[in-house]
């Protein structure tokens, strides 16, 4: 089922937004903010679809 694939992706990003500036994570650099350089805590494990 590929329905809602885009939505699921967007929702996943919501929890990855930078807590400092709220910027969306860049591809390949989700552990660090490309905007302000703030390092996100990897406490929350990514949901494995
Ligand atoms: Zn930031």
Q: What is the pLDDT of residues 12-41, one digit of tens each?
A: 667 778 888 988 877 776 678 888 988 876
19 or 11, which is more confident?
19
Distance CA 35, CA 31 (A): 12
Q: How far does the centroid of ligand 1 lie from the alpha carbon of residue 21, in Å?
A: 4
Task: Please give the pLDDT value at position 8.
Answer: 59
Instruction: Calculate the dihedral angle through the C-alpha atoms of 8, 30, 41, 47, rounding to the nearest 10 degrees.
Output: 30
Task: Look at residue 49 and tell me if it is in a domain.
Answer: no
User: Domain limits at 35?
Assistant: 1-44
Q: How far does the centroid of ligand 1 lie from the alpha carbon of residue 6, in Å?
A: 23
Residue ranges near ligand 1 (ion) with Cβ within 5 Å: 18, 20-21, 23, 33, 35-36, 38
Domain count, the chain: 1
Task: Please give the pLDDT value at position 43.
Answer: 55
Q: How far does the centroid of ligand 1 lie from the alpha carbon of residue 38, in Å?
A: 5
């Amino acid at each position: 089922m590929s329905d809602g694939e885009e939505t699921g992706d967007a929702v996943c990003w919501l929890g990855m937004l930078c807590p400092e500036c709220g910027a969306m994570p860049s591809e390949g650099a989700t552990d660090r903010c490309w905007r302000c350089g703030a390092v996100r805590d990897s406490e929350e494990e990514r949901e494995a679809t």
